[in-house]
Structure 1
Amino acid sequence: MTSRAGPLPEGLGESFTCAEAIARDVTRRRLRAADVEAPFRGARLRREEPAGDGDAAAEPLALDGRIRRALLRTARAYASVAPAGSFFVGAAALAAHGLPMRSEWSGRPLSVAVHPPAHAPRGRGVRGVKISPRMVTVCEVDGLRVADAVTAWALCGSWLSCDQLVVLGDALVCVPRDERGRPHPERRRATLDELRQATGVPWRRGRERLTAALELIRVGSMSPLETESRLVLTRAGLPEPDLDVEMRAADGRFIGICDAVYRRQRVAVEVEGSHHRTSDRQWNRDLDKYAALAAAGWEVVRLTSRHIRGSSPQAPHLVRAALERHPRG
């Protein structure tokens, strides 16, 4: 029967090197205790309590946050023992820039890059790559050296699908809004022109997929599900809607912001994630907005992931039916 391990020194962070711990009189035996992870040689992580299994933990935003946190925890642990001049690309770089995460990225080796002629790092949990300086711009985000947002996206052309690149691209070029709905273009991560320039670098791997994605990226999709809904609708032959539209009544009164709008038919499409039903504030705000839109003569089509995803999505049928009920003016 093993005794309970004593607390680690307060000065050690969430991740630390074995050398740092030993310098604070932590024994090697203590570094092998159950509350400490050893993701890389010479590096340690304080072990986290497993996430709960409740409904809230399974929601997309919560899952996205867990994946991002896990990637960044592991990246910071490796950064403490990483070779000089190395930097993160792939999922860890995307996580550092706050871009949408995918569940299959959990548990994969970190992609760690160097510029030639340095040797690519090797070891358990790491996939080392060499990347020419002309292919990537390196920056620092919260202490981590990573590919900047634009070239992190461009480097994904070699391993992500076109649709996945569109989701990331939409997230990069979207104009954030504050809690009052005011747009802040100065906060967006990239412009379409910057993505085009990164795609056009000679010998860029995955250029064909990146170019195809550029044709589909739009300013105005505020979530991955909104991007997916637009792709599903347009591939079914429906016209492209206007995105992220400020809606007003006839007297100019502000009603709210709609995800997608067909102006001539006066049809608005709202893409609703789980937070629309789990947040009382969001739920009541939605009800007020839909009532105001109906009073102003708009029909609202509300879509969830069940309508958008799957082999036979219902979203195109629902939107087409609404458009047919409102012939063009």
Structure 2
Amino acid sequence: MDFRRPLPVALPRAFSVREAYLNGMSRSQLRNAALVRPFHGARFAPRIDPELIDQCHAFSARMPRGAIFSHVTAARLHGMPLPIEFDDGPLHVMSPAGVRATKARGTVGHCATLGASDVTERQGIRLTTPERTWCDLAAILNFSDLVAAGDSLLWWEQPLTTMERLLEAAQRYPSQRGRSRMQLALGSLSPRSRSRPESIVRLALTASVLPEPVPNFEVYLPLSRREIAIDLAYPKYKVGLEYQGDHHRLDRRQWRRDVRRGNDAVDAGWSMIYFTGDDLVDLPDIVARTERRLRSRGWPVA
């Protein structure tokens, strides 16, 4: 169904019914079947694929008093890596203690104590801070994914927080849910893991009988006269592991760079192991392959 009158230009891609009325839309326009209704009191413009930020803006107008976005929703807004099953799904909304949690369609309501240090703003959306979000995820994610989420916050090139702030947030966290997992994960975080797959493989290798790998180990390659960072490295044995994500395959320039840097590393005496997202379902195989390479290079030393 088309609109006889176009939508007001001032309206965003996702908007509340209140915003629509303030911009001159009529009741009959709001009942137009072309408008998507993700929640009661919210609309999406026709023929758009709303992003998470659009959904949050649309629901913000009808949030419970003092409520903010939290848990999985906050994690995605902060750019924290999550398992694929969390790519879509309901919005997580946290109401402060004493305010009834939302039960709106398309949302998951939470109710908890929130301090001023637990709340921040991103693109006009109020949400839990990276530190509080990570603590809340401890009740949802498994150990490896919780570590991967924490690693992303500490990534040294673009950190969203510090280890000290995470420790402080964990200490004052009011809930007991996931606390033991959180405490265990705090001891396994690294500011040198660039991606979720790197973190998960690093944890699998560390939990095995193998030596602990060095994440994003910088190596100077004399033949090509350049420096590279190997995702997971055993410098003593010159064994390295590299994650190949889909962007490595789809970006032609990236793919060519990856092939050249891999060959350069081999020319410099490194034995390279490559893994993809599919390999994460069989971590013992990655560990076994790494053990074979290390043993071929003299591990363990007698």
| Structure 1: gaps of 5 or more residues | 51-68, 177-186
Q: Indicate the residue corresponding to 2:86 in structure 1.
A: 105
Q: 2:112 aligns with which of 119, 131, 141?
A: 131
1:93 counterpart letter in structure 2 = A
Q: Is the 8 A contact 2:2 2:34 kept in 1?
A: no
2:13/2:48 contact within 8 Å kept: no
Pairing 1:213–2:185 present: yes
CA drift at 1:235: 2.9
- SS in structure 2 of the partner of residue 133 of structure 1: coil
Task: Supply the AA of the counterpart residue of 1:9.
Answer: P
Question: Residues 188, 163 of structure 1: CA spacing in aligned structure 2 closer, same or farther, 3 A cutoff?
Answer: same
How many residues of Structure 1 are paired with residues of Structure 2 in the alignment?
Answer: 298
Q: 1:162 aligns with which of 129, 137, 143?
A: 143
1:204 maps to 2:175 = yes
> What TM-score does the superposition give when structure 1 sets the normalisation length?
0.82
Q: 2:165 aligns with which of 194, 209, 229?
A: 194
**CA drift at 1:219:** 2.0
Answer yes or no: is the 8 Å Cα contact 1:172–1:190 preserved in 2.
yes
Query: Secondary structure, in 3 states, of the residue corresponding to 2:27?
Result: coil
Within the alignment, does 1:26 sit opposite 2:2 as a pair? no
1:235 is matched with which residue?
207
Assess if the C-alpha contact under 8 Å between 1:135 and 1:201 holds in 2: no
Partners of 1:36 and 1:88 in 2: how far apart? 24
Q: Is the 8 A contact 2:224 2:264 kept in 1?
A: no
| One-letter identity of the residue aligned with 1:23 | L
SS in 2 for 1:238: coil
Shift of 1:251: 8.4
Alpha-carbon deviation of 1:264? 0.6
- 1:261 deviates by 0.9
Does residue 223 of the first structure (1) align with residue 186 of the second (2)? Answer: no
* Counterparts of 1:244 and 1:12, CA distance in 2: 45
Stretch moving more, 144-153 or 239-248: 239-248
| Cα distance in 1, alignment partners of residues 217 and 167 from structure 2 | 25
Contact 1:307/1:313 (CA < 8 Å) preserved in 2?
A: no
Q: Which moved more, 1:250-259 or 1:157-166?
A: 250-259
Query: Which segment is superposed worse, 24-33 or 188-197?
Result: 24-33
| 1:269, distance to aligned residue in structure 2 (A) | 1.1
**1:1-329 mapped onto 2 (5 Å cutoff):** 4-6=2-4, 7-49=6-48, 70-106=51-87, 108-134=89-115, 137-176=118-157, 187-201=158-172, 203-205=174-176, 206-250=178-222, 253-310=225-282, 313-327=284-298
1:215/1:47 CA distance change after superposition, 3 Å: farther
After TM superposition, give the deviation of residue 122 of structure 1 in Å: 3.3
- One-letter identity of the residue aligned with 1:113: M
Offset, 1:86 = 1.5
CA-CA distance at 1:268 after TM superposition: 1.4
Instruction: Report the CA distance between 1:127 and its aligned residue.
Output: 2.8
What do residues 228-267 of structure 1 show as CA deviations (whole Å, max 9, x unaligned)? Answer: 2112223332221111122103589323121011011011
What is residue 56 of structure 1 aligned with on the other side?
none
Could you say if the C-alpha distance between residues 118 and 306 of structure 1 is closer, same or farther in structure 2, counting changes exceeding 3 Å?
A: closer
User: In structure 2, do the counterparts of structure 1 residues 106 and 307 end up closer, same or farther at CA, with 3 Å as the change threshold?
Assistant: closer
Query: Per-residue deviation at 1:117?
Result: 2.9
CA RMSD of aligned residues (A): 2.4
Amino acid at match of 1:129: H
Structure 1 residues 103-112 or 224-233, which shifts more? 103-112
| Deviation (angstroms), 1:34 | 3.2
Q: Secondary structure at the match of 2:233?
A: strand
Aligned partners of 1:255 and 1:289 also within 8 Å: no
1:106 Cα deviation after fit: 4.9
Please, which runs of 5 or more residues in structure 2 have no aligned partner?
none
SS of the counterpart of 1:204?
coil
Instruction: Using structure 2 for the length normalisation, give the TM-score.
Output: 0.89
Cα distance in structure 2, aligned partners of 1:277 and 1:202: 41
Pair 1:162–1:18, CA change in 2 (3 A): same
Is the Cα–Cα contact under 8 Å of residues 250 and 296 in structure 1 kept in the other structure? yes
Secondary structure class of the residue paired with 2:121: strand
